[in-house]
Amino acid sequence: MEPSEIVLTIPGQPEFLRLARMAAADAASRVGLTYEEIDDLRIAVDELCFAVMGEDSAGSPLTLVYQILPGAVSVSGSSPGDGLAPVQSELSRTIVAAVVDEHELGQRDGMRCFRLLKRGSAQEANATG
């Protein structure tokens, strides 16, 4: 499978996060992730998108890039920031760390941003075996 990319821009409001989760599920199903792995990816995307949008949800657009890789999905997201780095609760950090293989959250060039990587269990088995 050749890597491919999906770009989605949504309004920066929580009610539109459903679209971000649906795109994550689609990308994950394309690489053969299991139902549980797809759900884990959806949870992580939701948590990190919410952190990037901020609790005030000012409505700045959120752009997501889903990269479909062999046996894995990478998702990055960014939204114009107000000079403040995104804030994530301890519970949210714990959840995201438990459900994806890699993740980061921060601010770059005036944009709040995140990146995550979710590998499928078949890919993990190949890497360790």
Q: What is the CATH number of the domain that holds 32?
A: 3.30.565.10
Give pLDDT, residue 128. 47
Note down the domain range covering 124.
4-128
Contact criterion met (CB below 8 Å) for 63 and 80: no
Contact criterion met (CB below 8 Å) for 27 and 45: no
- pTM of the predicted structure, to 2 decimals: 0.89
CA–CA dist 63, 77 (Å, integer): 6
Number of domains the chain is built from: 1
Q: Rounded to whole angstroms, what are the CA distances from 107 to 9, 89, 93, 115?
A: 18, 16, 16, 11
69-102 confidence digits (pLDDT tens): 999 999 999 998 777 788 899 999 999 999 999 9
